[in-house]
Amino acid sequence: MAYTDADLDLVSRHVADGARCVAQLEHSIAHAKTVGLPTDLVESALARMRVTMALMTDHQRSIAASLGLSKTPDIPERDPSGVNRAGIPKRAGS
Q: Are 3 and 63 in contact (CB under 8 A)?
A: yes
According to the model, what pLDDT value does residue 45 have? 97
Q: What is the mean pLDDT of the chain?
A: 83
| Inter-CA distances, 33 with 16, 23, 42, 51, 93, Å | 26, 15, 11, 23, 34
Residue 21 has pLDDT above 50, yes or no: yes
- Side-chain-side CA neighbours of residue 23 (13 Å): 8
Q: Whole-angstrom Cα distance, residue 18 to residue 32? A: 21
Question: Does the predicted model carry a pTM greater than 0.75?
Answer: no
